Chains A and B, each alone.
Chain A
Amino acid sequence: MSDMFFKLWDAGLIQLGIWETIYMTLISTAVSYVFGLPLGVVLHITEQGGIAPVPWLNRVLGFVVNFFRSIPFIILMVSMLPVARFIVGTALGNKAVIVMLIIAATPYIGRMVESSLKEVNAGVIEAAQSMGANTFQLICKVLIPEAKPALLNGAVISMVTILGYSAMASTIGGTGLGQIAIIYGHQRSKPDITWLCVFLMVIIVQVIQVVGMRIVRKSDKRINK
């Protein structure tokens, strides 16, 4: 380890970086789900042959989602700076980064949710319809609860993706492990710092994955116990 590591560690920057990465990821994931879950539900139910088909709305939403998903995150970030300034009053720093992450993750999560809901057996929906369930009941009592394991699985994948995005945020002044890797590792030619950041990210991803999968397994009642 170079002196740089001890300097950063003693200054608390690495610890702070870990925390910032984690908290940006968690907040962005949570807020993205607030928008992404309804978006995914609407994408699913308005489809032709869905439980509340509205083909034009489905096409419009589908187009918007595809539009945002086709822009690489780094470009999306710089192009959306005015939006961030409008929403949180600044185009710099972690606040702006979180806005960017949410803009990028919401369409992604929307698709994730949509594909999870597709896995719900159409027969179960039909059974609930035969009992007189309305659209709202179908969504809240059948679609989402029945898709729960798949939704949680999607959340784990989304969270890891968002974590990866957050590392790119140093471009617009975001902090966290990504910024440490770029500023102290790359720009000052200290590869050990870069690798340390990589290592720490790997650990965080592993923890998310292992804990997430345990929750998924526990939540799924289809497995014989």
Chain B
Amino acid sequence: MIEIKNLNKTYRTADKEIVALDDINLTIQDGEIFGIIGLSGAGKSTLVRCMNLLERPTSGEVLLDGKDLTKLSKKELLKVRQSIGMIFQGFNLLEQRTILKNVCFPLEIAGADKTKAEARAMELLEIVGLADRAGSYPSQLSGGQKQRVAIARALATNPKYLLCDEATSALDPNTTRAILDLLKEINSTMGVTIIVITHEMRVIDQICDRVAVIDKSHIAEEGKVSEVFTNPTSEIAKNLILPRDRAALNTKGGRRVRITFNGDRFDKPVIAQMVLDCQTPVSILFADTREMEDCIYGHMILELPNDERQADKVMLWLQNNEISFRGEA
């Protein structure tokens, strides 16, 4: 369990102070995949670096299984870091070492026996599907393959936690999907707790159990992904989760409503049924679906007819059929 309590981080430059993190409180349970989403500059990379003390917080506690990392001696801290794996946007592989030697690296640091280290490294390369490239150098691999090597390397010391700092941000959508599937598999088969930092909602959708939305150095909102997704309360979460379509906002029509579906309504033709029942046309300005926890969630922006009576009829229909919706500005 990782607990972050009253964490602050301030950078001092010559003439001013920059607040990177302001009173952050978070608890990450063992075995979950926890997402931290925010725009660039929100402080998410600083936050994840506070979890292994690559960044030392200005104040506050970082408790790893009850142990406050900020109070450890340098030597103890180095030891603890061996139980926290980390992967990066830029992969950060050692360019002058083979793939196998890269995966051996953390074991070397930990002082493991060379033959054992290599056996363990091969085992991990097998898991990430790159055993046949053991003798290659990083420059000979694609981005997705490099990240697989980085994942194998991060897991070499059997860490309990894996920190992922924008790990898929440099990858194309298909590769991203494959890497996320791999992370999910690692989480379920090895029980590694994974902390994912990203600016992309699809990453959170695909693998996270819970999410914290960070904005301007604060945690704006936190909760189960499906809850935050269907009912975002903070402004930033709404922006990240419910993308606004510029073209849709510029139309001059009647009232707009945003409808949210959750999994079980998906097998019914809701909109078509509504149009038939109300005998009035509506325009679909925007629609999107996401899959989370094996359920499909969707949302849609409808433009109601100009005629107020017709529009009210639609609203009433939505209410009566227990479809969650809300008015859009």
B96 to A146, Cβ gap below 8 A? yes
Chain B contacts for A126, CB-based, 8 A: 54, 88, 92
Cβ-defined partner of B96 (8 Å) among A129, A133, A134, A221 = A221
A95 within 8 A of B: no
A132 to B81, Cβ gap below 8 A? yes
Interface centre among B81, B82, B93, B109 (most CB of A within 10 A): B109
Interchain nearest-CB distance for A154 vs B (Å): 16
Write the chain B residue with the least CB distance to A225: B140
Total A residues in contact with B, Cβ cutoff 8 Å: 26
A224 within 8 A of B: yes
Chain B contacts for A149, CB-based, 8 A: 96
A70 within 8 A of B: no
Would you list which residues of chain B between 118 and 177 have a CB under 8 Å from chain A?
Answer: 137-140, 150, 157, 163
Cβ-defined partner of A222 (8 Å) among B90, B105, B139, B157 = B139
Tell me the bound Cα distance from A142 to B98 in angstroms. Answer: 13
A142 to B94, Cβ gap below 8 A? yes
1/0 per residue, CB under 8 A from A, across B63-93: the answer is 0000000000000011111101110101011
A11 within 8 A of B: no
A131 to B137, Cβ gap below 8 A? no
Would you list which residues of chain B between 85 and 119 have a CB under 8 Å from chain A?
Answer: 85-86, 88, 90, 92-98, 105-106, 108-110
Chain B contacts for A128, CB-based, 8 A: 105, 109
Given A123-B90, A131-B105, A137-B109, decide whether A224 and B82 contact each other with a Cβ distance below 8 A.
no
Given A124-B93, A221-B95, decide whether A130 and B84 contact each other with a Cβ distance below 8 A.
yes
Chain B contacts for A124, CB-based, 8 A: 92-95
Interchain nearest-CB distance for B180 vs A (Å): 20
Tell me the bound Cα distance from A128 to B105 in angstroms. Answer: 8
A59 within 8 A of B: no
Chain A contacts for B108, CB-based, 8 A: 141
B52 within 8 A of A: yes
Tell me the bound Cα distance from A17 to B19 in angstroms. Answer: 66
Cβ-defined partner of A127 (8 Å) among B92, B96, B98, B137 = B92
Sorting the interface of chain B by its residue count into under 10, 10 to 19, 20 to 34 or 35 or more gives 20 to 34
Tell me the bound Cα distance from A126 to B93 in angstroms. Answer: 11
B81 to A130, Cβ gap below 8 A? yes
Interface centre among A127, A133, A134 (most CB of B within 10 A): A127
B54 to A130, Cβ gap below 8 A? yes
Tell me the bound Cα distance from A134 to B111 in angstroms. Answer: 12
A48 within 8 A of B: no
Chain B contacts for A222, CB-based, 8 A: 95-96, 137, 139
Chain A contacts for B106, CB-based, 8 A: 131-132
Write the chain B residue with the least CB distance to A146: B96
Interface centre among A132, A222, A223 (most CB of B within 10 A): A132
Write the chain A residue with the least CB distance to B78: A132
Chain A contacts for B163, CB-based, 8 A: 130
Tell me the bound Cα distance from A128 to B94 in angstroms. Answer: 9
Interface centre among A131, A133, A142, A224 (most CB of B within 10 A): A131
Given A148-B96, A222-B137, decide whether A132 and B80 contact each other with a Cβ distance below 8 A.
yes
A93 within 8 A of B: no
A121 within 8 A of B: yes
Chain A contacts for B86, CB-based, 8 A: 127, 130-131
8 A-B residue pairs with CB within 8 Å = A121-B92, A123-B90, A128-B105, A129-B81, A132-B106, A141-B105, A222-B96, A223-B139
Residues of B within 8 A of A (CB): 52, 54, 77-82, 84-86, 88, 90, 92-98, 105-106, 108-110, 137-140, 150, 157, 163
* Further contacts, 18 of them, CB under 8 A, given A129-B54, A133-B78, A134-B78: A121-B92, A123-B92, A126-B54, A127-B92, A127-B150, A131-B81, A132-B78, A132-B80, A132-B81, A132-B106, A137-B109, A145-B97, A149-B96, A219-B96, A221-B96, A221-B98, A221-B139, A222-B95
